[in-house]
Structure 1
Amino acid sequence: MKTDNARTLKIDIRALGYDSGTRNRKSGENPAFEGLDYRYMFENSYDAVVVAGKAGNIQACNERALSFFGYVDAAEFDKLTLHALIAGMTDSLLGNVAAVVQERRYMRMQAFAIRKDETFCAVEIVVMGTRKEASDAICYMIRDIQARHHAEQTLLSAFHAMDNTDSSIGIVDLDGKITYANRKMISMLGDGDESRVVGRQLATWFDEEEVIKPMLEAVMKGEKWTTEMKVGEAGGANYLRLSVVPDINEDDQLLGMVISVVDVTDRRRAELAEYQLERDRVMMESLSEACHAIGQPATVLLTSIEVLKDTPNIDAESRRQVEDMCYAAVLDLRQCLKDMNAARMSVKGSMAGGHA
């Protein structure tokens, strides 16, 4: 039910926890009731106790009610109706309250109290009838739950944020069983079927030795744990990043762990593409250097061979010098080829290490 101030009213109707015989029991039958100051108990019960008629007119209240609602003058407070004190209170709801009380049941409501300064406070209200069945009076026992309401709203906001994040998030107990999974995790691991994820063991998807055991060991020590793993064959492989933190309650007791699973395939593919570009650049530079290194001894060798071919009557000393130049050029070429092969093997080894 919505009020004009968009305040929500929650209602729970339950039977009384005693029968009519108990209701008619006299306090004098138990000596413990003798000498009790019922007036004192009434004045200091709950955060506020208000007695109102079936139409909502205030008939009585305890002292705490005045303080809770921010009133000083009791006469001013008595002129009010419940419509002015409880957001969402309507004549129709008052009629329902009267009907519930008539049936010897009680009503528990969560609503917002309206204070004199027009501020709102989350409250829980227990509504009960009086002992006199013909009485018009109905008792409203009001308890301040603003702190609890704030905590619930914070938890609800956190739940919605976690349930709608792009990361797959789950809660796992110490036996490795998933007790909660957000929408993304259900979609990733169960194709949208919650029953295929919640209640299942992590070992259903992840290797026991490589993932589950080291993960649990870290969590038992109260430490975070992260790894990246490849899923699938080389042609259609995906990469997942698993991050785990211990789930610890307010008493510092380890309950399990919170796991996050993120598909990092796009990032890894981008890294591989960048690595390939860098590798190609290095190879081109190496090839250019190799060509330059080979060029000089190759030129010397070619020129020397041409000299020997074009001058068949060259003297012995000149021939020996030209042959020595050819031999030195061949040695230089052999060394260049060795260096090129070593560079190729180095690049191949770094590629294997980078893609492992």
Structure 2
Amino acid sequence: MRSEPPDDRDALRAKIIGLGETSLHKSYYPELQNRLAELERFRALLDQTHDAIFLIRAETGELADVNASAETHLGYSKRELLAKPFIDLISPTKKTWLAEFIRESSALLSKSGQTVTARLVSRSGTEIPMEITVRSVTFGAERYIVAIARDITDRIRTERELRIKESALESSTNGILITDLAGTVMYANRSFAGMFGYERAGAVAGRNLETFFADPTVGEKVTARLLDTHAIVQETIGLHSSGSPFHIQVSGSVVQNDAGQPLCIMLIVMDITERILIDQMKRETYAQLGKNIEQFAILGDHIRNPLQVIVGYAEMIDDSLAGKILEQSRRIDELVTELDRGWVESANVRHFLRKHGEDRDSPLQTGTDISTLKERDT
């Protein structure tokens, strides 16, 4: 007022424009600057996160704010996003759920939030699988919904690949066993459980490798050898849950991480009982064949020796029947000669089997040939 002294008017003016010692501007401006700086830092952190963040007005469903990742994921600018209701970004299968959540959000303020898997529709029309966590919050007197969306495309692809691999393991006709480095079973497929007489694959979990071998020390040796060489293939005797032994072939390897550190042991087990029986039958057949060759060679000489005596006596007889005896003797000699040719072919078969390693355990490999047998018999 004009009646106030000039000094008071100047002090009031300085206080209003922030020049006085006790001005409001000087008292609150530094704090305001600090708060603004904090908000800027927080905003920068939100923009740097890979998750898309949406702030939704609960009353209208419109977007109040988004971070930079939301723009990147969906291909919209921030202005375009703020002009759209959030529900328009959701694939049709989850729109009803979101609308109900927004409607009932006032009753959910005390809850930590809900998580749902849904697809967000980008500007190009591509549907992006997202794991969306939604929470109801209040700023002042207005209610909002905060939606944090994480792209799970890679996770879905990885889970699908894991399901395919698991299905491949389960459908394998060979028994597959995964153990820890100490030999304790972590996983067994159905084929392994059935091979060893267990009703369920889960019944095998937790058992030690030694349970499945007739010689319990084999399990420990397999584990030690794998950790030393990282791979094995060997034949041994398995032990059925009923206690009966059977032949198996075990091949295994150590599963390593990217750094080359061992993670677990994987074994592939085959029931080779039938093959062993067939090999045994082969060995017995080859052994019998060797005996037959030897007997045929001896028998041929046994036939020829008395035949030569008959021929000698027939040549000394002056009788018309002597000619018929000689004729039949020649026929017998020809038949024995044919048998000799068959023995030679049998010997060739023997040599072929020896060459291809099929008779390495049979007596045929170490047996003498036909000429040696004849010389010995003579």
Give a deviation string over 1:74-119, Cα, whole Å, max 9, x none.
3366324335334631223432464474333212233333222232
3-state SS, counterpart of residue 90 of structure 1? helix
CA gap of 1:226–1:181, structure 2 versus 1, over 3 A, is same
Match of 1:299 among 307, 316, 327: 307
Give a deviation string over 1:279-320, Cα, whole Å, max 9, x none.
55555555444433443334224555x579989xxxxxxxxx
Match of 1:262 in 2: 270
Give the TM-score normalised by structure 1. Answer: 0.66
3-state SS, counterpart of residue 241 of structure 1? strand
Match of 1:127 among 129, 134, 144: 134
Quote how far apart the aligned CAs of 1:204 are. 1.6
Match of 2:174 in 1: 167
CA gap of 1:297–1:222, structure 2 versus 1, over 3 A, is same
CA distance in 1, matches of 2:130, 2:179: 35
CA distance in 2, matches of 1:352, 1:242: 29
Structure 1 contact 189–197 (Cα < 8 Å) conserved: no
CA distance in 1, matches of 2:211, 2:109: 57
Match of 1:146 in 2: 153
Which one-letter code corresponds to 1:71 in the other structure? Answer: Y
Match of 1:197 in 2: 204
3-state SS, counterpart of residue 139 of structure 2? coil
Match of 1:185 in 2: 192
Structure 2 contact 185–207 (Cα < 8 Å) conserved: yes
3-state SS, counterpart of residue 158 of structure 2? helix
Match of 1:23 in 2: none
CA distance in 2, matches of 1:208, 1:111: 55
CA gap of 1:224–1:95, structure 2 versus 1, over 3 A, is same
CA distance in 2, matches of 1:165, 1:175: 25
3-state SS, counterpart of residue 254 of structure 2? strand
Structure 2 contact 137–145 (Cα < 8 Å) conserved: yes
| Alignment length (residue pairs) | 289
Match of 2:252 among 244, 249, 254: 244
CA distance in 1, matches of 2:215, 2:36: 68
Which one-letter code corresponds to 1:154 in the other structure? Answer: E
Structure 2, gaps ≥5 residues long: 1-30, 319-349, 351-358, 366-378
Which one-letter code corresponds to 2:65 in the other structure? Answer: A
Give a deviation string over 1:234-253, Cα, whole Å, max 9, x none.
xx974211111112223322
CA gap of 1:53–1:270, structure 2 versus 1, over 3 A, is farther
Match of 2:44 in 1: 40
Match of 1:58 among 55, 63, 71: 63
Structure 1 contact 190–197 (Cα < 8 Å) conserved: no
CA distance in 1, matches of 2:194, 2:237: 19
Which one-letter code corresponds to 2:307 in the other structure? Answer: T
CA gap of 1:308–1:170, structure 2 versus 1, over 3 A, is same
Give the TM-score normalised by structure 2. Answer: 0.62
Structure 2 contact 254–264 (Cα < 8 Å) conserved: yes
Larger helix share, 1 or 2: 2
Quote how far apart the aligned CAs of 1:158 are. 0.9
Structure 2 contact 62–82 (Cα < 8 Å) conserved: no
Match of 1:103 in 2: 110
Larger Rg: 2
Structure 1 contact 169–184 (Cα < 8 Å) conserved: yes
* Greater RCO, 1 or 2 (C-alpha within 8 Å, sep 6+): 1
CA distance in 2, matches of 1:231, 1:214: 14
Structure 1 contact 107–128 (Cα < 8 Å) conserved: yes
CA distance in 1, matches of 2:255, 2:94: 42
CA distance in 2, matches of 1:232, 1:140: 57
Give a deviation string over 1:61-81, Cα, whole Å, max 9, x none.
223312211224733663243
CA distance in 2, matches of 1:183, 1:83: 47
Which one-letter code corresponds to 1:252 in the other structure? Answer: G
Once structures 1 and 2 are overlaid, which stretch shifts more, 281-290 or 145-154? 281-290
CA distance in 2, matches of 1:111, 1:225: 47
Quote how far apart the aligned CAs of 1:184 are. 1.9
Once structures 1 and 2 are overlaid, which stretch shifts more, 135-144 or 93-102? 93-102
2:99 equivalent to 1:94: yes
Match of 2:89 in 1: 84
Match of 2:25 in 1: none
CA distance in 2, matches of 1:180, 1:209: 20
CA gap of 1:350–1:189, structure 2 versus 1, over 3 A, is closer
Structure 1 contact 87–114 (Cα < 8 Å) conserved: no
What is the root-mean-square deviation in Å for CA atoms of aligned residues?
4.1
Quote how far apart the aligned CAs of 1:255 are. 2.8
CA gap of 1:353–1:56, structure 2 versus 1, over 3 A, is farther
Structure 1, gaps ≥5 residues long: 1-28, 312-342
CA distance in 1, matches of 2:361, 2:164: 47
CA gap of 1:155–1:297, structure 2 versus 1, over 3 A, is same
Structure 1 contact 167–261 (Cα < 8 Å) conserved: yes
